[in-house]
Amino acid sequence: MQPDFNIVLIGGSAGSLSRVLRLLPHLTKKLNIAVILIFHRKEDEDSVLHDVLAHKSEFTVKEVEDKDPIERRHVYIAPADYHLLLEKDLTFSLDMSEKINYSRPSIDVTFESAADAFGESVIGLLLSGANADGVDGLRRIREEGGRIVVQDPRSAEVPFMPQQAVDRLSIDLLLTEFNIDDFLSLVTS
């Protein structure tokens, strides 16, 4: 079942939270999208992330639980120490299989499952980070007809992850401080 809205996946690691905090205020109720955040974070990290994000968006912010439905106008957070999968029936699944790129949740795992389930309805955004997690997932999104966006490595606190994507893939948009409107146009088209 294809959703009648776009699914925006945002993956990041070291240095990515500040970019997400600048992006979230632009997510207003007029946007017909679901946003899924995949951050590399440890299981024992403080759970204030939800509260910080909830104050920055008009969308409902929720940490994912197994079998939660994927709904428009929500920001979903991948829980620490679980891979987050998107299912064709518009639900989430949590998985504790081995780490990928030293990470669980892995950005690649989520991006790839979303691409396989929803194809052209998926937009992947890869932000700052210190490993190549997310690049293979972006490639799968592209192969399945979705669109891919990468943070300009020059603006990333840790440029390795977005630079890997820029070097290896043909991207739809290089996200800078100044083209948020271009990004919003892409996710609503």
Tell me the catalytic residues.
13, 40, 133
Q: Which residues pair with 85 in a beta bridge?
A: 93
Task: Give the integer Cα–Cα distance in Å for 66 and 76.
Answer: 12
Element (H, E) at 150: strand 147-151
Task: Give the integer Cα–Cα distance in Å for 115 and 173.
Answer: 18
CA distances for 143 relative to 21, 118, 169, angstroms: 29, 12, 11
One-letter amino acid at 129 equals G
Contact between residue 7 and residue 118 where contact means Cβ atoms under 8 Å apart: yes
- The two structure tokens encoding residue 188: 């609503």
- Burial class of residue 131, CB neighbours in 10 A (0-12, 13-18, 19+): middle
Contact between residue 67 and residue 93 where contact means Cβ atoms under 8 Å apart: yes
Task: Give the integer Cα–Cα distance in Å for 74 and 70.
Answer: 8
